[in-house]
Structure 1
Amino acid sequence: MAPLPTPSEQPDDTPEAYVGLDAGHAERLARERGWTTVRSLPPGSIITMEFLEGRLNFEVKDDTVIRCWKG
């Protein structure tokens, strides 16, 4: 039987801390804090709802993070 995959670690971080930041700065900060995937989306984007460990999502309007969530 094949071993179970080990999920990637997720940083102990607060998504709300990114709200209000410039999108570029927020992405650099998230990567420095250990997020493996950072995704920037315009408001109202249609996305799949699968949860991906280690991913941080930004909703960005006028180059500012207006919402942030894990997965």
Structure 2
Amino acid sequence: MAPVPNPPNAPQDEPQDIEAYVGLAQQDAEERASARGWTTVRSLPPGAIITMEYLGSRLNFEVKDGVVHRSWQG
């Protein structure tokens, strides 16, 4: 049996911290997330088809017209 990997720890942001990215310009949000320790930042257009794979160290943004409209972990 393969060993269980040790995934990187996600920043200890509270839900309101993750929601604070909404309304920011895409580039500003991505830079802030990286500076706060998120190992993967994924920006997606509205309605994008994405995998159901959950990564606790990933922050997702739904971006429309260069502005973050939604953000969530995983």
User: Normalising by structure 1, what TM-score?
Assistant: 0.91
Who is 1:12 aligned against? 12
Change in 2 beyond 3 A, CA 1:2/1:37: same
1:1-71 map, 5 Å? 3-13=3-13, 14-71=17-74
Structure 1 residue runs of 5 or longer lacking an equivalent are none
- The residue matched to 2:29 in structure 1 has which SS? helix
Structure 2 residue runs of 5 or longer lacking an equivalent are none
Shift of 1:5: 1.9
Identity %: 65
User: In the comparison of the two structures, how many residue pairs are matched?
Assistant: 71
Distance in 2 between residues matched to 1:11 and 1:27, nearest whole Å? 14
Shift of 1:3: 4.5
Shifted more, 53-62 versus 2-11: the winner is: 2-11
Q: Which runs of 4+ in 1 moved over 6 A?
A: none
Q: What is the Cα-based RMSD across aligned positions, in Å? A: 1.3
Shift of 1:31: 0.2
